[in-house]
Structure 1
Amino acid sequence: MTDPAPAGLRRQLLEGELSLLGQIPSASNLTLVCEAALDGTVVRCVYKPVRGETPLWDFPDGTLAGREVAARLIDAALGWDLIPETVLRDEGPPGAEFGPGMLQAWIDQPDEPPHPEPVEVFPANAVPDDYLPVLRAHEDDGTVIAVAHATTEQLHRLAVLDAVLNNADRKGGHILVDGDGRLYGIDHGLTLHTEPKLRTMLWGWAGEPAAEPLRADLAMLSDRLAGDTTFAASLCGLITGEEYQALAERVAALAAGQTLPRPPGQRAIPWPPF
């Protein structure tokens, strides 16, 4: 497989000829693995058709693909590049009659994942100093364990992005690390709701403001949300006007130093957590 230059990846996903490789059976929505071929270059990608979305009680039907693309646009506007390149396609690979959907660049992970991983389970009395515990539980034999996440700059940035996006589904398994140690977040269909929905495994920074450099990025995004009509039109083609306004308010508040949300009394952790 030959990787395109980063600047050409979006075009590759938008215009490449798709071929179906297989399905990810563990995904809650229909998720297909494809290749996109263009000008002699082939990249692997993930295709999630709107038709394969599982209906939810708290998110409108048929909107998850658009939310994934909107999340990527916001991430790219911040310059953080934590979400793989994501686009909308009118149709999937030939022979797969699923219609419009989201196409996202595939992230290759090493055969041996990092140890410990960004979100990891430890004995309750052995959580490393550079990890923050977010959940305690008992094993079947009564052993107390702790779920904790790392305190790296990349992961903090992802936690702030989740607060911006109002991400209702930040599972541990939705955090990927490639062979170069670069961190990515995936699965952003449950984002950008008008109501507070944050459910995450990254609660360790709750009650603290975003780091100063990130607040500077958020301030620039806040200005863009308020004054860039082209950017606004792109997002409002994917989410509602009310959702756009709620996004703008979250960004402005975090840029001004408002602390990251604290866990609600219930439904603070996505299920399953990994």
Structure 2
Amino acid sequence: MAEAEEFVYRATVAPAETDPMLQLLIEGDIEVLGLMPWSSNGTFLTNVSRGDDHAPAIYKPHSGERPLWDFPGGLWKREVATWELSDELGFGLVPPTVARTDDRAPMGPGSLQAFVPALFEEHYFTLRERSDEDLVDQLRKLCVLDLVANATDRKGGHCLVDSEHRVWAIDNGLSFHREFKLRTVIWDFAGEAIPGAMLDPLRALVDEGVPHRLARWLDDAEVDAVASRAAGVLGSGHFPHDPTGSRYPWPLV
């Protein structure tokens, strides 16, 4: 197996049995290294190991969640669901994320996500200033993902970039609400036509239904809402406007 540090950069469109990072996250032992600062819920840096292979990962246990009035408990499931959606669409924007519900999860059931060694001085607002069209296209793709996932907390600091100029979306737990609750900093593309290559993957969600790999993490109303939002994006074909000016998270970064 290649060095574990390489795994976090790979696109995760392969099934679990052939993707080394997913296998490590699913089967590895979890050692908690410490609490991540500035997190509203319990978020832990861990080392995940299996034999000679190891990699850093972010563990978000259910037991560390603070109750919210507008979301049910189990935000960790929505972290997994966002990766499932990104992977199903072939977008590759979310670091590999799995559910750990076995007795080796040190604080109980939760999500385990590959840690991205990003350029942490960068965030959405610094990335948007760049003239790198490939990077900007990745941000457009993230906007499409967030529209379908109904991202409710896409802060600028939740958009990372690594040394290979690849964009990653993290902190995805506030998503998939049955009611439209989109709150994001990504409004720069409002009114633009969405590229066909970003729309085409949504057609299966509408024509064939939401796949089980995603639906299993949501309730029936939330699943129906995913298909409805995908249909809405396809029908419009354009990035939306925010006429109210109120669909921003706080703080912005």
TM-score (norm 2): 0.85
Deviation at 1:64, TM superposition (A): 0.5
Residues 186 and 128 (structure 1), Cα distance of their counterparts in 2 relative to 1, 3 Å cut: closer
Answer yes or no: is 1:254 the counterpart of 2:233: yes
Is contact 1:50-1:101 (8 Å) kept? yes
Q: Matches of 1:10 and 1:30 in 2, distance apart?
A: 22
Q: More helix per residue: 1 or 2?
A: 2
1:233-252 correspondence runs (5 A): 234-252=213-231
Alignment counterpart, residue 39 of structure 1, candidates 31, 36, 51: 51
Cα RMSD, aligned residues only: 2.6
Identity of counterpart residues, as a percentage? Answer: 35
1:99-114 correspondence runs (5 A): 99-110=108-119, 113=121
- SS of corresponding position for 2:47: strand
Alignment counterpart, residue 101 of structure 2, candidates 72, 85, 90: 90
Alignment counterpart, residue 196 of structure 1, candidates 151, 165, 180: 180
Answer yes or no: is 1:156 the counterpart of 2:140: yes
Q: Matches of 2:40 and 2:96 in 1, distance apart?
A: 21
2:83 corresponds to which residue?
72
- SS of corresponding position for 2:60: strand
Is contact 1:77-1:221 (8 Å) kept? no
Is contact 1:89-1:101 (8 Å) kept? yes
Residues 128 and 174 (structure 1), Cα distance of their counterparts in 2 relative to 1, 3 Å cut: closer
Q: Matches of 2:232 and 2:47 in 1, distance apart?
A: 40
Deviation at 1:252, TM superposition (A): 1.9
Q: Quick check: 169-178 or 244-253, which moved more?
A: 244-253
Q: Matches of 1:38 and 1:220 in 2, distance apart?
A: 36
Deviation at 1:129, TM superposition (A): 8.9
Deviation at 1:128, TM superposition (A): 5.7
Is contact 2:135-2:165 (8 Å) kept? no
- The amino acid across from 1:269 in the alignment is Y
1:119 corresponds to which residue?
125
Deviation at 1:172, TM superposition (A): 0.4
1:126-137 correspondence runs (5 A): none
Q: Matches of 1:171 and 1:63 in 2, distance apart?
A: 21
Q: Matches of 2:214 and 2:201 in 1, distance apart?
A: 18
Alignment counterpart, residue 66 of structure 2, candidates 54, 76, 86: 54
Runs of 4+ more than 6 Å apart: none
Q: More strand per residue: 1 or 2?
A: 1
Is contact 2:135-2:167 (8 Å) kept? no
For residues 120-156 of structure 1, give each alpha carbon's deviation from its aligned partner in whole angstroms, at most 9, with x where no partner exists. 49xxxxx96959xxxxxxxxxxxxxxxxxx9710111
2:153 corresponds to which residue?
169
2:28 corresponds to which residue?
16
- For structure 1, list consecutive stretches of 5 or more residues without a partner in the other structure: 122-126, 132-149
Q: Matches of 1:49 and 1:16 in 2, distance apart?
A: 16
Is contact 2:98-2:112 (8 Å) kept? yes
Answer yes or no: is 1:3 the counterpart of 2:10: no
Is contact 1:215-1:256 (8 Å) kept? no
Q: How many residues align?
A: 240
Q: Which has the larger radius of gyration?
A: 1
Q: Matches of 1:128 and 1:182 in 2, distance apart?
A: 15
For residues 32-61 of structure 1, give each alpha carbon's deviation from its aligned partner in whole angstroms, at most 9, with x where no partner exists. 00011113110110000011111111111x
- SS of corresponding position for 1:34: strand
Is contact 1:4-1:41 (8 Å) kept? no
Deviation at 1:206, TM superposition (A): 2.4
Deviation at 1:118, TM superposition (A): 3.2
Q: Matches of 2:167 and 2:179 in 1, distance apart?
A: 28
